[in-house]
Structure 1
Amino acid sequence: MRSGLLCASALASLVAFGATPVLAQDAEVSEIVVTGSRIARKDYVSESPIVTVGADQIAAVGMVTIENTLNQLPQFTPSNGSGTNTTNFVTTPGQAYANLRGLGPTRTLVLIDGRRVVAGNPNAVVDLNTVPTFLVDTVETITGGASAVYGSDAIAGVVNFKLKRNFEGLQVDAQFGATEQNDAGQLTASVGWGHNFDRGNIAAAVTYDKREGLTAADRDWSAVGYSILTTGLTPSGAATIPDGRFDPASNAGGAANLPSQAAMNAVFGAYGFAPGTVARGASLSFNADGSLFSTAPVNNYKGVQGPGFSAASYTFNSAAYRYLNLPLERWSLYATGRYDLTDAVEAYGTASYTTYDVSRQLGPASASDGAFPGPDIVVPVTNPFIPADLRTLLASRADPTAAFYPRRAFTEVGGRLSNNTYETTQLLAGLRGVLPIRDWKWDLYASYGQMDHTEHQFGNVSRAAMRTLTFAPDGGVAICGGFNIFGAGKVSPGCAAYIARDVTNATTIKQTVVEGYTTGSLIDLPAGALKFSAGGQYRKDDFDYAPDLLLRGPDIVGFNPAVPVSGDITSKEVYAELLVPVLADLPLIESLDLALGGRVADYSTTGRVSAYKADLTWKPVSGLLIRGGYQRAVRAPNIAELFSPQSLGFVGIGSPGTGTTAGDPCDVRSSYRTGASGAAVRSLCLSQGVPTAIIDTFNQASTQVEITGGGNPDLTEETADSFTAGAVWSPAVDRPFLRRFSISLDYYKIEVADVVGTIGVPTILASCFNADGSNPGLSNANFYCEQFTRLGSGQITGVAQTQVNLASVKTYGLDGQVDWGFDLADLGLPETAGALAFNLVISKLDSFERQTRPNATFVDYAGTIGADLSGGALPEWKSVLSATWVVGPVRTTLRWRHIAAMTDARSVPTFSPTAVNTPDYDVYDLSGSWKIDDRVTLRAGINNLEDKDPPHFTSYPNSNTDPSSFDILGRRFFVGVNAKF
């Protein structure tokens, strides 16, 4: 197998980074199996586009986790990884996933040595952090549907990690790297040992990896959050602040129980402000001396105007709490062995264990005045810490004795920290051999995998504890020292500890697989042997999530409430493939082969599903291959999509402003209220429940809204039709400049129907208010408007995010690759001048169309960033170009990574003139190695040579940018050594 792969990449043998095409092999090459088929053949030519990354190319990236390598390839849309401080999978923070074509991690099947492994979460997605980088020999990726061969989840394609085999002797590898600012250090150290004997081989390896964390405050470009308003780029942050905040309209009685304007004028008149400067319904906060200041706009603020301060709106900058790069520490153990029981039967097995700790951290717990299941903080008018000026305003209300509901970020408790420990065990044992019939072979194995996840959450606060302190006659002084929430830093350490709640959650996922297949030649046809493969598989996946008892109730503020989830899915599957050599050795038909395949699966949840494929390869002349085909792929709903109970969450909607569709459309600052349909929008807001008394001064209280999401047991399977067509040309001529030249170009088109998912909150709001023409009458009876409600204060709540079968997604584009290498002696230079090699991997995304529900208009997100489905970047052009110079034992590579400019997805389909888009993004890396002798090789590299900052854009997912798509660390260096004994 290794020989075949090396031959497949012979035309790019000097390339230090890039995706190597699977090309034709010489006739002498033994039969091999390449990802995408279970049929072995000589002179193998892949009928599906496959890209391959080798161990040297992985090492050249200089990162301890492998998703960083994959995400640089044009076929991948970066998803969860080292820079993802939040997660779509709430029970599995800190994991890393593969996402092909931007169709989502759930539609990318990850294999190890061609076999399924236990998933890392209830969404059936494999955690790439469980793949030890040191053990990876090659990564083969099919960029198209492959369900007929591998089963469910292979909608977008397959990523197959092939691990190193046949270790002989001892091998040691170590690498260290850090940024120019001497932070975000990364360390990896590995030891592998193996021994060949007469009838087999045994091998074992252990790897240790460590990645240091980095907060958003550690980089200038992320130290302050930004929003897009009419003035352009404006500092922003969380509306819930450590100083405490009182929003009169969001309290008991709402607009009917506001402070009087006379009282507001009197209080702020004493500060020197003219009557009417601060409206009676304005949001207020508290200076250190107990005086008040308004928050939007800011009047009478006496505190320090730190980074991100804006006179337009006072918000909390939580950059010091939010991780930009997640800290990780990992141990991996791996053992494998094979033994020839007889000349015809071999026993084999593997055992692996990976444990790693990873943390994420968000801003402090923010108790609010209107979150589910009600106000978090309730303060009676008898509370002794109420400042005198606030007492004056409270006393002027229609009901002066009514308790009120301030909001506050509890910095005294600290950030919301989630420490996670993952332990993954994978065991496999099998038998394989040959049959006494022609060239027939067979393979039978059983595997068991288990993932255990323990999450410790710190930084939650208790509603009940806060109520005890606010209602205490002395404000909690006797209980814990004093719970003064009216001003930053005034809560005593004892009371901060009194309200804090730490919780522990546990998740266990198990997978059992039994599979067997056989393959060989049936008969000899004039054009070659008719080959066949057939097999069957039984698989069972079990999932159990047990959140802490405190999270199951209504008391916790901080991390989202959670409910237990458990379930299992079994499947019984049969599959077959047929390779038909149609014609051979004819004029303009050196070979013409047809590959057919099919798979039928019976799921315990969705019943019977089927997948099939038909691929054609045509070799008209030596060196030219034309290939193409069709595949029907399926994906059965996973445990989370089917069985997750309804639960609470929060999603960001951005800040409103003229020219942008972000924020609450009912906010008086939004483009909806100020546009041509402003009067109709106002009427719709009133019909949704925004109080009449505040409709013309209404501001959204937060950039996040409450969602209610969960599973749906009535889901059906997704289906996808994949089409590919392309050509590979490798000139079969003995010319100096063409010996190592190859070029490939492939067209792909994937159409997914009955997509399982949810409609994004920004899309729901924009469609309800007719940003895309979905509600021309601006009726509250519209489908999108029915997906959310409003509180009595007018704030959005309860946005429906239950999993449903949506409509369709269609994407198509082109993948290209060029490999070219030659000796400099061919240019007349001395033989000692060495050799040059060039590799270009490039992808053109022509379309990424999404339909939110049946009969809805398709919206094209190609060339955008922040689209709902992918959650990441969808550039029209993405490429990696490498140039390598080899002189004797020294190899040097310069790599250029390019991502084309993208439009913020909030400008689609309605253009937003004030949205910030991303420009062309180009980063250069330099790496090299020196083979001192046959045993020791040194390597080093500098990534992001220009120390380029990532771009920011309107709908940023984390710290003003997309940490998975762009380089967030800056210029960094690494050095490594590999020694064999």
Structure 2
Amino acid sequence: MTPRTILRGALLVGTASLAVGTALAQPAAAPASDSTEEVVVTGSRIITNGYQAPTPVTVVSTAELLKKAPESIAEGLRSLPQFSGANTGATVAISQGNSASAGNFLNLRNLGSIETLVLLDGQRLPATSNNGATDTNIIPQALVQRIDVVTGGASAAYGSDAVSGVVNYILDTKFTGIKANGQLGISSRGDAAQQKLSFAGGMFLGERLHLEASVDYFHQAGIPDNGQRPWGGNYEGGWVNVGANPARPCGAGGCPENPYTPVENIRLATATYGTLIGVGRTAAQAELRQSATAGSAWALTGYTFEPTLQGGPVSQLGVHRADLGTPTGTPNFNIGGEDTSVSFGTTLTASLKTKNAFARADYDFGGGITGFAQGSFSESDTSFVTVGAGTQFNAWQVFADNAFLPDYVRDQMNAAGVASFVASRVEGDQPYKRVFNNTQAWTALAGIKGSLFDTFRWSLNYSGGRSRLNTKHFGNFDQAKWLAASDAVDEGQFRTGMPNGNIVCRVDLTNPGALPGCTPWNPFGNGSPSAASYDYIAGTPSTWRLVQQVHNFAANISGGLFDLPAGTVNIALGAEYRTQKLNQTSNIGNVYVDLMEPGFDPTNPPASTTASGLNGVAEGLRAANAAYYATFNSTNVAPSSGKQNIKELYGELAVPLLADMPFFQRLELNGAARYVDYSVTGTAWAWKVGGTWSPIDELRLRVTKSRDIRAPTLYEMFQGGGSTRGNFNDIHTGTSSNVVNISSGNPDLKMEKGDTFTAGAVWQPRWIPGFSMSVDYYNIHIKDQITTLNSTNANQYCEDSGGTGPTCAFIIRPLPFSDRSSENFPLMTYSRLFNQAYAIQKGLDYEISQRLNLGAGRLTLRLIGSHGFKAVSASDPNAPIQTFRLGAAIPKDQATLSADYTRGPFSVGANVRYIGPMHRTMQPQYVNGLPQAGTFYEGDGNNISRVAYLGANISYDIVGGGKPITLYFNGSNLLDKFVFWPANNGQPTEFPPINPGLYPIMGRYLVVGVRVRI
């Protein structure tokens, strides 16, 4: 069979809707050194020249992807409709450092990166994030020849985790010569500058040994804060979806009686930069700390402290009634107000730097036996600001003997019998909180292969890897230190009743040595805290390190069993043994500072909690205003460890039934089965059945049905009791305040199951030269999906049940459920992973392409698109269903139209990426007859407009021939389009109203570069 025929077979398989540019497996820069090497397409373990798999598969050349997005191959893939929702290399979407947020994590059909299996030459790579996904930045891009993408389930062929599909990076293992690439990029606003360099070389030493190596470097400065793009807000109030009715008939907003609507100039209503005075407490109430908001209004409730008078005594610090703006239908969010605050300073895109080195050796031992060994090292560094101003909502108590307190306020407290008041503050004067992530990954692959009886091919392979993720979050408050520093007293007043002006931390007098070096913190007035006090409170970053290892051994054999009239019956058999290990360490010790229950177990929370005194370093921290505090203000990642081994057996069979008959030019059946045995999770079967039918040469029909699986990751099972602190809108008490949430893994998790059905057709009419068309229907249903029930939904379900439902155990309250006063605000919330979510997607992928010879040049037109019929997901069977029109971040229609013209050394192309309109609300959502909050929108918050992005690329070979030097230019989002997508949660201006997983957030971006081949 000739190489042309082989490539034609690959094209037939590859015309599913993921192809972009040319779908041929041949790289544009240069042909493979061995022109007789066959092209093996992902989707099947059976190796047959020209084999046409029934599963929709796309072969995408690296050269074509980099034309559209020269930053990286992953960026090119993200431009395809099926990869919407994938993280970019620098996207920041979190406000803490609990997980790696920046990296190229591919996400097929927005079902989650963890559902997409990423391979390198068919071999597994180590996970690089704590959720088990692999950052594709660790793959050596300079030698990637093509990418094979399976858009249906492929667990039977490739094992667990291939529920939504497989992305297989194929290296050019026969490359000879030297090639280099260098480029510069910048946005039209003069920021987010990038530099990229890559080198690769390959050579034969004699006739048997082939060596090749590559290095890649990429750096992008990022966009420092979200105010640098439209609607970002940043230092002023921003756009947020809030409830329209302050009466809050259904809680925080998002129900028919109180729908979400986008509002500008939204600000935090329950805290000020100078400290907002809340409810007052008696001495007994101050000691109990039953709830963050328990207490009574008094004369100065709602007042805020003014900035310290420069050069004046502390006693001159004044207070005034705070202007907190106009209330909205969402607690804690108001419009305007002179004294309201925002969480400014958040980075829009992280700075990113990646480095990669790769080397490989192939050796021909003779007798048809060859072997190889390769290894790579990659390192990725990201940094970003989580927030410039930390928040403390109803977070601590201020006592009358606080040495920094103005005399006027102290006198008012004594007159009202107030021993302490609850305080709230936005730290507009603290150093910015910044996260630094460093990821290092080592991979090794080796194998040997040969033939048996001239009909079978066998291989023995090893793949292994180790990744290490280090995270540091600077600017976090150490909660014990902060509570101690915030309770400052006059030493003389405390000891003798006579002030001496020496202000110290009270804990140094009541519990000497418990917190050495304590530096008093003055929170009264914006700018009042000293730099030394912030250094003490936030000088130690919260840090954690995650190390993951994988070792995989595989044996495979494939070939023809016997011949039938229609062709050879082919079979593939194989076995794998894999070990995985995870170890996570951190500097937080316990995940919380326990101020109420010394024996509290966060993995087994009690039904109720009562005060029982203080313990450990918490003794004497009377400023505490909650039962539990996380160790740090944010980013509390607990130690974790786990390991398991996996055994797998698989078999695949392809049977040609009919050939060269009327209406049956080709009829072939394919089946595969895989048995997996996880030492922790148990056993399961994955399978696939399918077939192809060509009634005529020009038309091929294909259909598959598969059961796919994803085993829970080690982190999902063995995650320690991590904690976060954030604002919680409690619909039970109608109160909004801060609360600690404890989360943990679940060793009892089961495997996810995915049922996938695909049916499609490929048409290449001979009477239209250069024309091809494909259409594929898909139906994916994932059940037992692993998820965490968030505290908002848990609270809602508990309310719906009248306090008797199982989710009530996730909301820890100090008083019985029947009490709806603010004193019954939760002490803590709790979440745990479980198998209860599900997702369903149905849609159509399509592609139409036409190649035309125009004079001395060639024009290629291509339309690739996806149309969705249904997209349903829910965190559990009782949760509000999210559909296409309910903010699932999956547009009903997406398409990319491209045109490329080449004539001699000159090439020019243009592409348009279309994303259809979205509507968050489709129909009312009810559970047990009650409307569900969080699913209803009005106005621009409901309607997300359609958008089209224009891109262009130009290249010219200043030196032609077999060793060209090419100058190139690329422009993306040339019309500088942005899509308004206001959030309905998060703190105002913390995140801009843009959806970075679906829409570009850089704006217009330009790249120039040069490629050299020697």
The TM-score by the shorter chain falls in which range?
0.7 to 0.9
One-letter code of the match for 1:485?
A: P
Partner of 2:342: 317
Taking a change above 3 Å as real, the CA distance of residues 313 and 634 of structure 1, as seen in their structure-2 partners, is farther
Listed as ranges, the matches of 1:405-416 within 5 Å are: 405-416=422-433
Partner of 2:741: 707
Contact 2:241–2:985 under 8 Å retained in 1: no
Q: Deviations over 1:885-941 (max 9, x none)?
A: 223221111111111122237986353335344211221111111122132111101
Query: How far, CA to CA, are the matches of 2:14 and 2:839 in structure 1?
Result: 35
Taking a change above 3 Å as real, the CA distance of residues 565 and 765 of structure 1, as seen in their structure-2 partners, is same
For the pair 1:38 / 2:45, whether they are aligned, the reply is yes
How far the C-alpha of 1:356 sits from its partner, in A, is: 1.6
For the pair 1:638 / 2:713, whether they are aligned, the reply is yes
How far the C-alpha of 1:952 sits from its partner, in A, is: 1.9
How far the C-alpha of 1:647 sits from its partner, in A, is: 2.6
Query: How far, CA to CA, are the matches of 1:20 and 1:844 in structure 2?
Result: 22
Give SS of 1:460's match: coil
Give SS of 2:781's match: strand
Equivalent position to 1:357, from 365, 370, 381: 381
For the pair 1:234 / 2:264, whether they are aligned, the reply is yes
Taking a change above 3 Å as real, the CA distance of residues 559 and 578 of structure 1, as seen in their structure-2 partners, is same
Q: Deviations over 1:587-617 (max 9, x none)?
A: 0110000011110011101121111111100
Equivalent position to 1:190, from 192, 198, 213: 198
Partner of 1:212: 221
Partner of 1:484: 522
Partner of 2:533: 495
Contact 2:389–2:429 under 8 Å retained in 1: no
For the pair 1:883 / 2:899, whether they are aligned, the reply is yes
Partner of 1:670: none
Q: In angstroms, what is the RMSD of aligned CA positions?
A: 3.2
Contact 1:76–1:100 under 8 Å retained in 2: yes
Taking a change above 3 Å as real, the CA distance of residues 334 and 907 of structure 1, as seen in their structure-2 partners, is farther
Taking a change above 3 Å as real, the CA distance of residues 920 and 784 of structure 1, as seen in their structure-2 partners, is farther
For the pair 1:73 / 2:111, whether they are aligned, the reply is no
One-letter code of the match for 1:750?
A: I
Contact 2:572–2:652 under 8 Å retained in 1: yes
Partner of 2:956: 930
One-letter code of the match for 1:342?
A: G
How far the C-alpha of 1:206 sits from its partner, in A, is: 0.7
Partner of 2:488: 471
For the pair 1:453 / 2:465, whether they are aligned, the reply is no
Listed as ranges, the matches of 1:657-736 within 5 Å are: 664=729, 666=731, 685=732, 690=733, 699-701=735-737, 706-733=740-767
Query: How far, CA to CA, are the matches of 2:726 and 2:172 in structure 1?
Result: 42
Contact 2:343–2:389 under 8 Å retained in 1: no
Give SS of 1:101's match: helix
How far the C-alpha of 1:378 sits from its partner, in A, is: 4.0
Contact 2:647–2:677 under 8 Å retained in 1: yes
Taking a change above 3 Å as real, the CA distance of residues 560 and 590 of structure 1, as seen in their structure-2 partners, is same
Query: How far, CA to CA, are the matches of 2:560 and 2:679 in structure 1?
Result: 34
- Per mean C-alpha deviation after superposition, the further-off stretch among 216-225 and 710-719 is 216-225
Partner of 1:418: 435
Taking a change above 3 Å as real, the CA distance of residues 129 and 907 of structure 1, as seen in their structure-2 partners, is farther
Query: How far, CA to CA, are the matches of 2:359 and 2:294 in structure 1?
Result: 71
Contact 1:47–1:627 under 8 Å retained in 2: yes
| Structure 2 gap segments, 5+ residues each | 27-34, 245-260, 310-316, 327-332, 491-500, 506-516, 594-629, 815-821, 926-934
Partner of 1:303: none
Query: How far, CA to CA, are the matches of 2:105 and 2:1005 in structure 1?
Result: 24
Partner of 1:161: 169
Q: Deviations over 1:300-342 (max 9, x none)?
A: xxxxxxxx9943585433342x111111111100111100011
Partner of 1:8: 10
Give SS of 1:324's match: coil
Q: Deviations over 1:472-527 (max 9, x none)?
A: 31585798986321111111112221222224322211110110101100000110
Question: TM-score normalised to the size of structure 1?
Answer: 0.83
Partner of 2:930: none
Q: Deviations over 1:71-91 (max 9, x none)?
A: 221112313332124289934
Equivalent position to 1:136, from 144, 149, 167: 144
Query: How far, CA to CA, are the matches of 1:44 and 1:699 in structure 2?
Result: 63
How far the C-alpha of 1:458 sits from its partner, in A, is: 0.9
Listed as ranges, the matches of 1:435-450 within 5 Å are: 435=452, 437-450=453-466
One-letter code of the match for 1:207?
A: D
Contact 2:360–2:373 under 8 Å retained in 1: yes
Query: How far, CA to CA, are the matches of 2:53 and 2:278 in structure 1?
Result: 64
Q: Deviations over 1:746-776 (max 9, x none)?
A: 000111121111234444455556xxxxx3x
Q: Deviations over 1:937-968 (max 9, x none)?
A: 11101111111123223337842221121111
| Structure 1 gap segments, 5+ residues each | 265-279, 300-307, 654-663, 667-684, 691-697, 770-774, 825-830, 868-872
Listed as ranges, the matches of 1:814-963 within 5 Å are: 814-824=844-854, 831-832=855-856, 834-854=857-877, 856=878, 859-865=881-887, 867=888, 873-904=889-920, 909=925, 910-913=935-938, 915-932=941-958, 933-934=960-961, 935-955=964-984, 958-963=991-996
Equivalent position to 1:292, from 302, 319, 322: 319
Query: How far, CA to CA, are the matches of 2:353 and 2:266 in structure 1?
Result: 33
How far the C-alpha of 1:65 sits from its partner, in A, is: 4.0
For the pair 1:119 / 2:127, whether they are aligned, the reply is yes
For the pair 1:223 / 2:233, whether they are aligned, the reply is yes
Contact 2:708–2:753 under 8 Å retained in 1: yes
Equivalent position to 1:384, from 403, 413, 416: 403
Listed as ranges, the matches of 1:259-270 within 5 Å are: 259-260=297-298, 263-264=299-300
Query: How far, CA to CA, are the matches of 1:800 and 1:50 in structure 2?
Result: 42
Partner of 2:158: 150
How far the C-alpha of 1:707 sits from its partner, in A, is: 2.9
One-letter code of the match for 1:187?
A: Q
Query: How far, CA to CA, are the matches of 2:13 and 2:154 in structure 1?
Result: 27
Taking a change above 3 Å as real, the CA distance of residues 135 and 438 of structure 1, as seen in their structure-2 partners, is closer
Give SS of 1:64's match: coil
Partner of 2:98: 90
For the pair 1:535 / 2:574, whether they are aligned, the reply is yes
Give SS of 1:874's match: coil
How far the C-alpha of 1:223 sits from its partner, in A, is: 2.8
Contact 2:21–2:65 under 8 Å retained in 1: no
One-letter code of the match for 1:928?
A: I
Taking a change above 3 Å as real, the CA distance of residues 908 and 136 of structure 1, as seen in their structure-2 partners, is farther
Contact 1:551–1:560 under 8 Å retained in 2: no
For the pair 1:199 / 2:208, whether they are aligned, the reply is yes
For the pair 1:50 / 2:57, whether they are aligned, the reply is yes
Partner of 1:276: none
Equivalent position to 1:334, from 337, 345, 358: 358
Query: How far, CA to CA, are the matches of 1:896 and 1:447 in structure 2?
Result: 40
Give SS of 2:848's match: strand
Query: How far, CA to CA, are the matches of 2:422 and 2:349 in structure 1?
Result: 36
For the pair 1:802 / 2:832, whether they are aligned, the reply is yes
Give SS of 1:221's match: coil
One-letter code of the match for 1:728?
A: V
For the pair 1:971 / 2:996, whether they are aligned, the reply is no
Query: How far, CA to CA, are the matches of 1:2 and 1:216 in structure 2?
Result: 51
- Per mean C-alpha deviation after superposition, the further-off stretch among 641-650 and 617-626 is 641-650
Give SS of 1:352's match: strand
How many residue pairs match? The answer is: 876
One-letter code of the match for 1:152?
A: S
Give SS of 2:716's match: helix
How far the C-alpha of 1:851 sits from its partner, in A, is: 4.5
Q: Deviations over 1:287-310 (max 9, x none)?
A: 5564435556349xxxxxxxx994
Contact 1:459–1:558 under 8 Å retained in 2: no
